[in-house]
Amino acid sequence: MEESVYKIDGEYIFVRHNSFHKNRMTLLFLHGLGESGLCFKEVFEDERFQTVNLIIPDLIGYGKSTASVSSDYSFHSHIQRIKKLLVIKNIQECSVIGHSLGGDIGTLLCASDKSGIVKKFVNIEGDLTQHDVFISNLAVEADKKGRFKKWWEYDFLKNIVYDGWGQKYDSCRRYFASLCFCNPQAFLDNAKELVNRNTALTEKNKSEIGKTYLSLNIPKVYCCGTESLSPDTMEFIKENNIDYLSFKDAFHWLMIDRSERFYSFLFEYVCH
């Protein structure tokens, strides 16, 4: 694994990657809310993926990347930075793998891709219905009550992640490490947008992101863990005949909880 920092519009974005080769396929990984590229570190340990280009940025405000110089953490700005990073790396084609928030941003990135750069999309528990934004809802409600800072430090980091999820799942202990580097304002702003975009419609399933995901005309697959996905979202998946793969006994970070199975699937799906 190699590490580089790229300056984009006065901000510095940290990227984990391997040695790039012009004629190889490129895989772009996008992490989730509060996360960093650490959640995908197993891909560098799998020798099969040394035959492709790997690029895993920490979004601005997350991990080792800097805060936004304009305090702009909108999905649109994240997508524009990603597109500029692809230009810097001279990437003409890629497959996108997005986890959680990265699944939402990946959905919108694919939908805005007018040049056909994105060839395949793997969505790892990105939001498809209003039932998927549990943590984001808690953050937004805490902010409305003027107690986001306390919620962030005690309710979320300590009680939910460290003392709760972290005692059961190794993946959540790694998540806690990434959260320690996350800019709380970036987290809150993205949580607000997650709630807004996934509760805005008036129909049964209120998610703009889910509706956009259905409209994508590229090969795509939705990956989910049996320990985390809402039953209502699974109903949405089946009602709309969405191609999906379920990982038994995996929590939200299924690419960590079931890394061997996930990366075997991923290699077959995007590299063949």
Cα 37 to Cα 50, 197, 236: the distances in Å are 17, 24, 29
Q: What is the pLDDT of residue 171?
A: 97
Q: What is the pLDDT of residue 103?
A: 98
238 CB-side CA count, 13 A: 7
Contact call for residues 247 and 254 (beta carbons, < 8 A): yes
Which burial class, exposed, middle or buried, applies to 97 when counting CB atoms under 10 A from its CB (0-12, 13-18, 19+)? buried
Q: What's the full length of the chain, in residues? A: 272
Cα 213 to Cα 110, 203, 222: the distances in Å are 9, 16, 10
Q: What is the pLDDT of residue 145?
A: 98
Q: What is the pLDDT of residue 79?
A: 98
Rounded distance, CA 100 to CA 30, Å?
9
Rounded distance, CA 169 to CA 166, Å?
5
Q: What is the pLDDT of residue 23?
A: 85
Q: What is the DSSP string of 189-207?
A: HHHHHHHHHHH--SSSS--
Per-residue pLDDT of the chain (272 residues; tens, 9 = 90+): 999 999 999 999 999 999 998 889 999 999 999 999 999 999 999 999 999 999 999 999 999 999 999 999 999 999 999 999 999 999 999 999 999 999 999 999 999 999 999 999 999 999 999 999 999 999 999 999 999 999 999 999 999 999 999 999 999 999 999 999 999 999 999 999 999 999 999 999 999 999 999 999 999 999 999 999 999 999 999 999 999 999 999 999 999 999 999 999 999 999 87
Paired tokens of 212: 């956009």
Cα 34 vs. chain centroid, distance in angstroms?
Answer: 10
115 CB-side CA count, 13 A: 9
Q: What is the pLDDT of residue 22?
A: 84
Q: What are phi and psi of 124, to 5 degrees?
A: -100, 95
Q: Which of 17, 47, 34 is nearest to 99 (CA)?
A: 34
Which burial class, exposed, middle or buried, applies to 249 when counting CB atoms under 10 A from its CB (0-12, 13-18, 19+)? exposed
Q: Strands 11-17 and 244-247: what pairing?
A: unpaired
DSSP 151: I
Residue 200: which domain range? 2-271
Q: What is the pLDDT of residue 232?
A: 96
CATH number at residue 146: 3.40.50.1820
Q: What is the pLDDT of residue 271?
A: 86
**What's the structural domain count of the chain?**
1
Cα 176 vs. chain centroid, distance in angstroms?
Answer: 16
